[in-house]
Amino acid sequence: MEIDMIRKIFIILVALCVLCSCGQQSPTWQEQYDLGIRYLSEGNYEEAIIAFTAAIEIDPKRVDAYLALSELYMDQEDYEAAVKILEQGLSNTDDSSIQVRLDEAKKMASIDFENLVSDALSYSGSGEMEGFEYHIPKINLDDSATVQLNQEIYDTLKYERLEADVSEYGYAEHSASYEWAVNGDVLSLVIEVEGTMWAWTDYYIYNVSILDGTRISDESVIADAGFTMDEYYTKTEQALGSSYWDGWNRTDEMFQDNGFCEMFNAQLKNTISRENVESALPYMNRSGQLCVIAPIYSLAGADYYYHKLNLSDFVFIPDYKNGVELQTHAVNISQDQAYQIACDYWNFTPGDVDGETGFEMFVTDGGTVESQSTGKTYYYYLLRWWVDSDPDSAHMSTCDWIYIDAETGECFFDTP
């Protein structure tokens, strides 16, 4: 009895399992494809690969899953896997868009990324400074556009800079170095040329398609980095303004000088101007971060200097747009009070005559002066006398002067 009962229960459970399995529907191609897209948007790449692969197995004739999966592999720099899935897709669909993507994947798979950029010329042991180095890069791709670009770079750096220096000075006046990064199919090459005898650096930026060697527009580089143009302009302005303020504090003693404040504010305005922001040259570094080379205006030396700025990694100063306030001071001393202070300073009373010359003395008002350094207002008074008693040759001559602080009444001989 117990055995029969157990057998019946087993049969019932099997039947229930069969019924349950019969009630489930297999996932569709669209469901797996949409699942892959969702995983991709969430950064869950392993699950995305599984979902796209499942979609291909469900319907090998549909193109989109092949393209999505190959793009994922390309982003992960697994070009061999991208080639393999695209060859499978081309075999199953004979679709032209897969053929285009396959050609790109094969091109990327053939590149030696470790040595994509190397020295075309390396020059050292010259110049006036120890450790002098001059390196001209070349991009190791064989398409015609890249060959032409390499020649342009070589001509610019060797003939226009290096040999021009040697011809004029007898030695190289510049050092040159470079850095490069690959993000997707974009190569960013940044060449830095520094003066060995003065603090000036020139930069040459090349954003190049690895697929065909053509130059990539700034707008495309910015879009590839995930920025809209408005976002890029805003972020570049913030980076420029914040970098301009680097090392300064609004309480610095230099900001007590109104003349310095005016110069500081003018150069800040130039640095964050739309014209200057639009002159910035964008590129991407090895972390895929958008960077720029842009002028930051200077308070000493040249009017501006070029700087490297990482738009994803800089110390943001929220009030970077606001210049420093000019110093203002109260006027507590009236004109009449200032006149009396001047008279007391010289121990003068109207009608006084100089004891040695016999000339009549006068205290005259020279107007007011505003100090460019402090912003303070000063009254200017002169102690004068009439020279010569002959009406035809008589003239007023100054024998002393003072500046009176309109805030405190303090007297100064020197110009404030």
Write the pLDDT tens digit of every residue in 238-259: 999 999 999 999 989 888 888 8
Q: Using CA atoms, how far apart are residues 309 and 238, in angstroms rounded to an integer? A: 11
Residue 124: the pLDDT is 75
Residues 280-286 have a mean pLDDT of 97
Amino acid type, 294: A
Q: Say if residues 158 and 136 touch (Cβ distance below 8 Å).
A: yes
Confidence of residue 399 (pLDDT cuts 50, 70, 90): confident
Q: Is the pLDDT confidence value at 314 over 90?
A: yes
pLDDT at 329 over 70: yes
Query: Cα separation of 221 and 208, whole Å?
Result: 10
Mean pLDDT in residue range 224-251:
96
Q: Does position 369 have pLDDT exceeding 80, yes or no?
A: yes
- Structure pTM? 0.71
pLDDT reported for residue 204: 96
In the DSSP assignment, the letter for residue 310 is E
Q: Between the CA of residue 88 and those of 13, 238, 397, what are the distances in Å?
A: 42, 48, 104
Around Cβ 328, how many Cβ atoms within 10 Å? 9
End-to-end, the C-alpha distance of the chain in Å comes to 119
Q: Which two tokens stand for residue 78?
A: 């697994």
pLDDT greater than 60 at residue 405:
yes
Closest CA to 189 of 148, 114, 137: 137
